[in-house]
Amino acid sequence: MNVTDLWGVLATVAPPCYGSAMTVLLVVLSFAIATLLGAFVCVLRCCSQPVLRATGTGSSRCSATFLCSS
């Protein structure tokens, strides 16, 4: 394999590799931020609706209300 062939192979392989790397970067960053946002929203929702009526007997409280109730 000479140098021209090598550049040809690299030119073929580079765009998909770069594209995959960009996809991974985009997903990893977005997932990390989304998880943090989601956890924040989850705690907010648990604190704002502490009592959840269960079907049948009695009611159940969200475990996360321990974070907001004394």
Partner 1 sequence: MFRNIPLLVLIFALYLGLRHSGVPIGSFTAAVASLSLYSSAYIAEALRSGVLAVETGQAEAAAALGLSRRTVWIRVVLPQSARLVIAPMGNLLISMIRNSAVAGTSILAIPDLMNQARQLQSQTFLTTETFFWAAIGYLALTAVATAAVNRLNRWLALAR
Contacting residues toward partner 1, per CB under 8 A: 15-16, 18-20, 22-24, 26-27, 29-31, 33-35, 37-39, 41-42, 45-46, 52, 60-64, 66-67
Cβ atoms of residues 38 and 59 within 8 Å: no
Rounded CA separation 70/63 (Å): 13
- Closer residue to partner 1 in complex, CB, 2/63: 63
- Closer residue to partner 1 in complex, CB, 6/29: 29
Closest separation in Å from C-beta 13 to partner 1: 11
Rounded CA separation 68/70 (Å): 7
